[in-house]
Amino acid sequence: MSSEEVVRLDGVERAFPGVLALRGVTFTLRAGEAVGYLGPNGAGKTTTLRLLTGQLPPGRGSVRLLGRDPWTERARALERAGALVGTPGLLPYMHGSDLLEHAARARGSARAQAREESRRSARRVGVEGLLERPVGSLSTGQQRRLLLALSLLGNPRLLLLDEPTLGLDPAAREEFRELLRSLRAEGLTLLISTHLLEDVERVCSRVLFLREGRLVGDEPVRTEREPTTVRLRFHTDPDEGALRSLLGGAGNALERSPDGSYRLPAPGSPEARVELLRRLIGAGLPLLEFRSEGTDLVERYLTLLGKEEA
């Protein structure tokens, strides 16, 4: 992953009558990142995408795509960006080739160049064999792939995706995720706004949490439930002072739960966790349970954003 900034929001606020939709939002996307954007309805995700696509100016703060302002320099800012936002209507009688070539011509390509760009974009997402079929004859998954091919015209470096697997059956959804992973492997930067946590877990390495217009979390996506805490339970209550002393520096973070168990931050490696267990047993403590606990994306969503929208 490159250190180059592709997207930067800095202290962005945006108000509408009666509501402050975004409140000081700041984040950066770097080249090659795939970042999930999570939040309940009304959190400000759609407003963010409208700012990034130049449909709205920020009230305060700044928005940059590849160093340009999408509101004041919209054509230049978006020339290397693609978007699959919402569910745009497709004319059922139009062929896929006509749709892509018309869009390529609208971007300024000559007829022959537009045809070649359309074929190349269709090949990238596996719909080249469907271009001569009417759009109305395609499955929902095939239509979504066609729309993705549309967003890839012009060879963008950034894709803005809003609910990209919306309406797909489980098999088609996983195929679409695999396609997004392949685009990320090619070096594209992806920002995926969605309610489907599995999309983020399967595609992204990082996730942003938005609540009531505020960014309340910016974290790596944990794909294997990496241990974040260790839970200890004893047959009889230990001497807490002795236990903290035995744990060394980690003892300062030791917390007792209402159920009588203890929790502390997990050591960073399996070997370190094994060594901790050996020390506890070697000290003769009446240990009944030693368990590493992870935090998955659902748990983080509920913790940061609440249960009402989960």
Least Cα distance to 66 among 126, 108, 5 occurs for: 5
**Domains located in the chain, CATH noted:** 5-220 (3.40.50.300), 227-294 (3.30.70.1280)
Of residues 173 and 226, more confidently modeled: 173
| CA 139/CA 177 separation, integer angstroms | 17
Per the CB < 8 A criterion, the answer to whether 148 and 69 are in contact is no
For residues 223-231, average pLDDT = 66
pLDDT at 194: 92
Give the rounded distance of the alpha carbon of 27 from its chain centre: 13
| Each residue's pLDDT tens digit, 54-100 | 999 999 999 999 999 999 999 999 999 999 886 667 788 999 999 99
Q: At what angle do helices 140-151 and 111-125 cross, to 10 degrees?
A: 130
Distances (CA, A) of 310 to 27, 294, 297: 23, 19, 11
Range with lowest mean pLDDT among 3-17, 115-129, 222-236: 222-236
Q: What is the DSSP letter of 167?
A: T
Per the CB < 8 A criterion, the answer to whether 35 and 48 are in contact is no
- Dig out the tokens for 50 from the structure: 């409208």
| Each residue's pLDDT tens digit, 279-299 | 888 888 888 888 776 667 877
Beta bridge partners of 263: 231, 255
| Each residue's pLDDT tens digit, 33-51 | 999 999 999 999 999 999 9
Q: What is the pTM of this model?
A: 0.77
SS3 150: helix
